Amino acid sequence: MRPAHSLSRRALLAQAALTMAAAARLHAQPPPPIRMSTRPIPSSGERLPVVGLGTYRGFDVGPGSADYKALPGVVDALVAAGGSVIDSSPMYGRAEETTGELLAARTPRPKVFLATKVWTTGREAGLAQMEASFRLLRASTIDLMQIHNLVDWRTHLPTLRRWKDEGRIRYVGITHYTPSAYRDVEAVLRAEPVDFLQINYAVDDREVEARLLPLAQEKGVAVLVNMPFGGGGLLRRLRGRALPGWATDAGATSWAQLALRFVLAHPAVTCTIPGTGTPRNMAENAAAGAARPLAAAECRALVNAIAG
């Protein structure tokens, strides 16, 4: 007779299987996080993650507010996805100061690509404003200093070049968002060597496709795209509309992801910097940077879907 305490062969096999499964779980490595793609900065070859973070409005909030309390999660979501670009400006209210506070509060401080702007007239005023940006961002080096909307660019450009030579900034750029100024932007790109152009581009705002994006590509100028959602109006118009049928096959889960992947489909674009103050939106934006850009046929289909 079999002893009462002995195990059947089936029970022994089941126990062995459970033991092996537990050991496998113990030693298994977690799947690697999804990391966004990178593209080279033409003037240096340094690779930049393709989706960053704009701080206009979302970071113009004070400590203690509910909106401010959400912002550490926004920075964490950017960095966790492999992103690094954070773009600000003195014209964004408290955004530079908020950015500096958030970065200083993390241990270790996240390694990000800090971009800001000079937005004033006159050499001394420009110097004072840029020095203030260093203090507010709590940075000894700013990666990218841009002349915002070409304001007094002839005065500021020599300062930026000198600071780049001295290592205070790493790259020099110009920005604009008004179509009436695109001729001036084109003239500067043709006449002056700069590292970056920041310009607006979206599926419903494509004027830069004709001249500025091809010119930037020809001149070896990196392109930061602001307002990839058409300034927010595009997503508001699409709210509640079902995604086109082909979006599922493309791996898109939202209109926002389609819009970002449309922008990133242009070969001149280096990085896009949608603004947000919510961690969920930052994570969704970053996921678009980990997916492939839309194919040419998908871009045409998206343009038609938006127009329809």
Report pLDDT for 200.
96
* Average pLDDT, consecutive stretches of 10 residues, N- to C-terminus, the chain (308 residues): 50 54 47 78 98 97 96 97 97 97 94 97 98 98 98 98 98 96 98 97 96 98 96 85 92 95 98 97 96 96 90
What percent of the residues of the chain are helix, what percent strand, and what percent coil, each to the nearest 5? 50, 15, 35
Report pLDDT for 160.
98
Q: Which two tokens stand for residue 175?
A: 């920005």
Report pLDDT for 13.
52
Report pLDDT for 14.
52
Report pLDDT for 308.
73
Q: How far is CA 96 from CA 60, 62, 199, in A?
A: 8, 12, 20
What does the buried/exposed string (b/e) look like for 271-306 if buried means 16 or more CB atoms within 10 Å of the residue's CB?
A: bbbbbbbebebbbbbbbbbbbebbeeebbebbeebb
Report pLDDT for 26.
41
Report pLDDT for 231.
72
The H helix count followed by the E strand count for the chain is 12, 10
Q: Does domain 46-307 have CATH number 3.40.50.1820?
A: no
Report pLDDT for 257.
96
Report pLDDT for 298.
97
Report pLDDT for 35.
83
Q: What is the pTM of this model?
A: 0.88
Report pLDDT for 301.
96
> Are 151 and 124 spatial neighbours (Cβ–Cβ below 8 Å)?
no
